Amino acid sequence: MNSSLVGNQSGRPFCLLAISYLETINFCLLEVVIIVFLMVLIISGNIIVIFVFHCAPLLNHHTTSYFIQTMAYADLLVGVSCLVPSLSLLHYPIVLSESLVCQIFGYVVSVLKSVSMASLACISIDRYIAITKPLTYNTLVTPWRLRICILTIWLYSCLVFLPSFHWGKPGYHGDVFQWCASSWNTDPYFTLFIVVMLYAPAAFIVCFTYFNIFRICQQHTKEINERRVRFSSQDGEAGDAQPCPDKRYAMVLFRITSVFYILWLPYIIYFLLESSNVYSNRVASFLTTWLAISNSFCNCVIYSLSNSVFQKGLKRLSGAICASCARQRVAKDSSTSRSKRSSNGCHV
């Protein structure tokens, strides 16, 4: 970023959102509240998803579960990494230099978000293959190939952002650090490199697959309704046209994709504008960054809760936890009553 984001030298803490600074509090209040709130949501939400997948073996029979779990682990690490800027904003001492911490934090979060974005694209490809080639799906999508694909996602994400240490800032994940905001500038060529190698392919894959999925589902719905009307007219009964389940699933995918782009589009647009020296604003930088990071919580909620098998696993898990708590309460009450009876017997 440019020098307009450099904190003042009057002894006040460096705060991207200047409105958050209070004279009685020696840290960036609003930034800390936003980051800690997102951190708690992201960590708790993804831990629940991972726990349910490990406790519900039936979920592992679905190929999309591999990518959902990969996305959940990546998003969980995003939430854990948010502890770094929150401690920095609270002015905890940092052992390493601020520039190194800033670069490492920016690189790690960028890699994790790349894994999440690539996983979303792979889920769309998986669903596209399942709908377009249902007969050969099991032979095309095997557990071994899924593991290779997941490993490739992690390696590719690590490599594509590796030049950021020498080329330029990969995004705005580290701008809560003063060095990141004032000294670590974005490079237009590196921005173009990231767009070509990551953002554009992922967006194209998601749009292409979901558009064709929705189109195929509409075609299937039309064919099913025509057959239903034809057979009902032959039997002399009036048949009402009803949508098939594929269309409802396509609408779920459409809502999921819409939420993803709503949260990520402001970040990408601002990234491009700032890199080309068209527009820069520290408030916009902070808000678009953490709006995109909030997708780590939305991913686990939308993708997992839209899965009926996951919902059953979550209900069973919550039921088992409630039953365990009830048994512990009953055991505690019974032991308390026995101790009271024994104490009463001693005083007789």
How confident is the model over 59-72, as pLDDT tens digits? 666 677 788 888 88
- Tell which wins on pLDDT, 250 or 84: 84
Domain boundaries, the chain: 29-229+244-323
Confidence of residue 150 (pLDDT cuts 50, 70, 90): very high
CATH of 29-229+244-323, one of 3.90.1150.10, 2.60.120.620, 1.20.1070.10, 3.20.20.370: 1.20.1070.10
pLDDT at residue 159, rounded to an integer = 93
pLDDT at 345 over 60: no
The chain-wide mean pLDDT, for the chain, equals 74
- 285: which residues sit within 8 A by CB, 6+ positions away? 1, 5, 16, 172, 175, 181, 270, 274
Q: Can you name the residues that pair with 25 across neighbouring β-strands?
A: 22
Give the CA angle between residues 51, 55, 60 to the nearest 5°: 95
Distance CA 184, CA 221 (A): 53
pLDDT at residue 151, rounded to an integer = 94
Share of the chain above pLDDT 70, in %: 67
Lowest mean pLDDT among 6-10, 85-89, 170-174: 6-10
Share of the chain above pLDDT 90, in %: 5
Distance CA 102, CA 98 (A): 6
- Tell which wins on pLDDT, 237 or 315: 315
Which residue reads 């209070």 in tokens?
22
Q: Is 338 exposed, middle or buried (0-12, 13-18, 19+ CB in 10 A)?
A: exposed
